[in-house]
Amino acid sequence: MKTITFENGDKMPMLGLGTWKSAPGEVYQAVLWALEAGYRHIDCAAVYKNEKEVGDALQKAFQDGLVKREEVFVTSKLWNNAHEEDQVQVGFKQTLADLQLDYLDLYLIHWPVSLKSHVMFPEKGADFLTYKDVPLSVTWKGMENLKKEGKVRHIGVSNFNSSKIREIMDSCQIKPEMNQIELHPYLPQEKLLAFCKEHQINVTAYSPLGSADRPSARKKDSDPVLMQEEAVRKIAERHGKTEAQILIAWSLHRDVAVIPKSVNKERIEQNLEAADVRLEDSDVRAISGLSTSHRYIDGTFFTEVPGSPYEQADLWETDS
């Protein structure tokens, strides 16, 4: 399994289990199947509302001797309504309690968007109550405190474009070590990847399979279906692999960590086996031809709300 090596020598397996959209009632078993199959990286977030159950599964795995804590790389994310410096501690403590851990391997600011503490998502009609302007440098200070206190081993961001990362880097003591972003062949993120590489920031791809199970509020009729692309199907056929395995292998080939979500035992195992798929240059070229800059998770749920101070340009690169 390919790994990312952080500056202090810590390693993160580049293929992990995603838990966004994994329902309570399903995610416990999914995490255990994943650990049994050999996954050693689990991606979580407070807003997924399933961290308690992920924590139960981790505890079970530790108690049964399946894995030791230090053998599993666990990531979580700070939600948008806890961006004040002292609230970072509060959000983090809740996640740590839910996951039943005493440290996290990686903690990320989930979005460069701040909401008032009682608001989970912007609500139509409550526009002027919804947004609270907390500079990212303030939130980042809270993240740095967690790292200095030894509660998290690494800190980073998610859904950040290069100018938002710069905003942090202009005033930080500890630079972001990770940016987790939507990334798949429709949205290869060339420009942002180059920026992150230049600044030694690692990248993790979310929605690598096109997130077909995303909530209906995040779907548009015009959304193309990544898993049904002919180019991917042909390559899969030639390698005797599945489309999902090819899409995962494509991220790994580009040295991007990848966190496919599944709650199905066979698919969890199948996705891990993608680590052994070696793509040829011609495969990579054919897959790159699918690039359309299409985003499944476009962030309009933050920007297209009456009274929102955020615009699409606050979130995304203009030419990714």
Q: How many CB atoms lie within 10 A of CB 77?
A: 26
Per CB under 6 A, 207 contacts ligand A2P: yes
d(CA 193, CA 230): 26
Per CB under 6 A, 320 contacts ligand A2P: no
Among 112, 176, 260, 299, binds ligand A2P (CB under 6 A): 260
Of 37-45, 57-65, 160-168, 205-213, the window that binds ligand A2P (rule: CB under 6 A) is 205-213
Shortest gap between Cβ of 158 and ligand A2P (angstroms)? Answer: 14
Instruction: Establish whether 310 is a catalytic residue.
Output: no
Q: Which residue has the tokens 């994310």?
A: 77
Give the closest residue to 2 by CA, choosing from 227, 219, 276. 276
Contacts with ligand A2P in 50-109 (CB under 6 A)? none
Q: Which residue has the tokens 């960590």?
A: 257
Residues 6+ apart with CB under 8 A from 52: 24, 98
Structure tokens at 293: 């800059």
Shortest gap between Cβ of 184 and ligand A2P (angstroms)? Answer: 7
Q: Which of 48, 186, 206, 296 is catalytic?
A: 48
Q: Which residue has the tokens 């496919």?
A: 260
Shortest gap between Cβ of 309 and ligand A2P (angstroms)? Answer: 29
Per CB under 6 A, 244 contacts ligand A2P: yes
Question: Smaller CB distance to ligand A2P: residue 155 or 235?
Answer: 235
Q: How many CB atoms lie within 10 A of CB 189?
A: 24
Of 42-50, 140-148, 153-161, 264-272, the window that binds ligand A2P (rule: CB under 6 A) is 264-272
Per CB under 6 A, 267 contacts ligand A2P: yes
Per CB under 6 A, 303 contacts ligand A2P: no
∠ CA 153-154-158, nearest 5°, is 145
Shortest gap between Cβ of 212 and ligand A2P (angstroms)? Answer: 5
Give the closest residue to 254 by CA, choosing from 179, 184, 156, 317. 184
Q: Are 17 and 61 in contact (CB under 8 A)?
A: no
Radius of gyration (Cα) for the chain, nearest Å?
Answer: 19
Q: Which residues are annotated as a binding site for substrate?
A: 110
Q: Are 85 and 138 in contact (CB under 8 A)?
A: yes
Q: Which residues are annotated as a binding site?
A: 110
d(CA 19, CA 31): 9
Of 6-14, 100-108, 134-142, 267-275, the window that binds ligand A2P (rule: CB under 6 A) is 267-275
Of 147-155, 256-264, 283-291, 305-313, the window that binds ligand A2P (rule: CB under 6 A) is 256-264
Question: Smaller CB distance to ligand A2P: residue 10 or 273?
Answer: 273
Question: Smaller CB distance to ligand A2P: residue 109 or 226?
Answer: 226
Contacts with ligand A2P in 268-297 (CB under 6 A)? 270-271
Of 115-123, 125-133, 151-159, 202-210, the window that binds ligand A2P (rule: CB under 6 A) is 202-210
Among 13, 16, 18, 142, binds ligand A2P (CB under 6 A): 18
The residues facing 5 across adjacent strands are: 11
Structure tokens at 130: 């919804």
State whether residue 18 is helix, strand or coil.
Answer: strand
Pairing of strands 11-13, 17-18: unpaired
Pairing of strands 17-18, 41-43: parallel
Among 64, 71, 213, 255, binds ligand A2P (CB under 6 A): 213
Among 90, 138, 169, 212, binds ligand A2P (CB under 6 A): 212
User: Could you list the residues that contact ligand A2P (CB under 6 A)?
Assistant: 18, 207-213, 242, 244, 260-264, 267, 270-271
Catalytic residues: 48
